[in-house]
Copies of this chain bind each other. A is one copy, B any other.
Amino acid sequence: MEKSERLEILDDLIKMRTVNGNEKLVADYLKALFDKHGIETELVKYDEGRYNLIATVKKGDGPVLGFTGHEDVVAPVDESKWNYDSSFKPKHIDGKIFGRGTSDMKGGLAGMAIALIELNEDDSFKGNIKFIATVGEEIGEFGAKQLSDAGYANDLKALIVGEPSNSTSKLVTDKLAASGLIRITQPNPSEYGRHSIFCAHKGSVTYQVISHGKAAHSSMPEVGINALDNLVTYYNKQNEYFTKLTDADDDVLGKTKPSVTVFKSGDQENTIPDYAEMTVKIRTIPEYNNDKIIAELGELVQNMNEADPRMNLELNIESSNWPVKTDLNSDFLQMAREAFKEVWTQDAVAVGAPGGTDASQFVEANKNLEVIVAGPGNESAHQINEFVFEDDYLKFIDIYKLIAQKFFA
């Protein structure tokens, strides 16, 4: 594909205002593009105006490699603050392409779509690739969850997530590493540049614990049941549990990190509160997995309710995003590193990533799935004046193709 067409596809995607909605625009556009190139597609509806897209290239009987990216973007915050009015009107300036989603992750998505088309047209390529474009990643990984539940990840052997894994400079990479936001574990860290491959990221379990009590006037607290006191009693028990939970350690991801982030109870100084709620976010690692944590929290709550008739706790799991980890010595990761080296003539470090991705959902459905996160975007994701280097975007098309070729070699 010509460079101009490659750039035009990305521009077209950026113009689509897919802020937690309207992903059908992207799905329809890519479907038409794939149709034109004879690639089989399937639209999977999530909601009105919100469609996931699956595109399949099947040229052999072997395993299936996944390419995945999300169609939605985060809000532009304040459009008036974007230089050149560029939030949904892409601008190409000094080698950079500005616009919401350039980094996160229409750059990666367009790159993967083009790589798919070019691999399909390459007669020497004999592999099987499933391209998966999802809705609602930024809010709750809705599309990926829907597709995983429906079995779309079951036949995947390995998966590339095109989320931003570049930094704009080695300085930034170093800074991120120093702050603990990414963890560099690949050998020879002195030789790395600004390119990383995320081979792991934490998962999370987010839940609410609600305590039901009985209101009373504060002059007669014993007539009521103080839901707040009961929830602190739970908090203290939970803290004991967290000590055990945080024993486990992962070489790339570090320890499980639980945080109680919300606690709300009562609004009148004179009234014993009959309701209290707590929100907890646990960042998880493979060594202590989500299902185990959810089961143990359920037991904790049940035991406390049974031990004290005045205790009426309720556990609501709000979300469970699995930790993602691919072995540092895996062939798949090694192929990706080789592809990076060929394209950038520099080593890429493999790191633990700060944020979660749709891969959490795919891994929950397919626990043996090997995942890497690699995409042209950088740390300008979610910021005003988000951008991607034009060269990074173009080079990543080659990287995606190279990884696929190595995978099916």
State which of B235, B259, B272 has its C-beta within 8 Å of the C-beta of A261: B272
A262 close to B257 (CB less than 8 A): no
* Bitwise interface map of A from 249 to 277 toward B, beta carbon under 8 Å scored 1, else 0: 00000000101111111111111110010
Q: How far is the CA of A257 from the CA of B179 in the complex (A)?
A: 47
User: What is the CB-to-nearest-CB distance from A130 to chain B, in angstroms, rounded to a whole number?
Assistant: 29
When C-beta atoms are compared, the residue in chain B nearest to A216 turns out to be: B259
Is A15 on the interface with B (CB-CB < 8 A)?
no
A265 close to B263 (CB less than 8 A): yes
Residues of B within 8 A of A276 (CB): 263
A221 close to B259 (CB less than 8 A): yes
Residues of B within 8 A of A179 (CB): 220, 223
**Interface-central residue, A223, A232, A263, A267, by most chain B CB under 10 Å:** A263
User: What is the CB-to-nearest-CB distance from A260 to chain B, in angstroms, rounded to a whole number?
Assistant: 6
State which of B181, B232, B270, B279 has its C-beta within 8 Å of the C-beta of A281: B270
State which of B219, B232, B261, B262 has its C-beta within 8 Å of the C-beta of A354: B219
A221 close to B272 (CB less than 8 A): no
**Interface-central residue, A228, A261, A271, A273, by most chain B CB under 10 Å:** A261
Q: How far is the CA of A202 from the CA of B181 in the complex (A)?
A: 54
Interface class of chain A by DSSP = mixed
Q: Which A residues between 80 and 118 are near B, CB-CB below 8 angstroms?
A: none
Q: How far is the CA of A179 from the CA of B265 in the complex (A)?
A: 26
Q: How far is the CA of A223 from the CA of B354 in the complex (A)?
A: 14
Is A326 on the interface with B (CB-CB < 8 A)?
no
A220-B181 contact given A228-B263, A236-B236, A261-B228, CB 8 Å threshold: yes
Q: How far is the CA of A310 from the CA of B218 in the complex (A)?
A: 32
State which of B220, B259, B271 has its C-beta within 8 Å of the C-beta of A272: B259
Q: Which A residues between 198 and 230 are near B, CB-CB below 8 angstroms?
A: 202, 206, 218-223, 226, 228-229
A261 close to B257 (CB less than 8 A): no
Residues of B within 8 A of A318 (CB): 269
B260 close to A228 (CB less than 8 A): yes
Residues of B within 8 A of A272 (CB): 259, 261
Show the binding face of A for B, using Cβ within 8 Å.
Answer: 179-181, 202, 206, 218-223, 226, 228-229, 232, 235-236, 257, 259-273, 276, 279, 281, 283, 318, 354-355
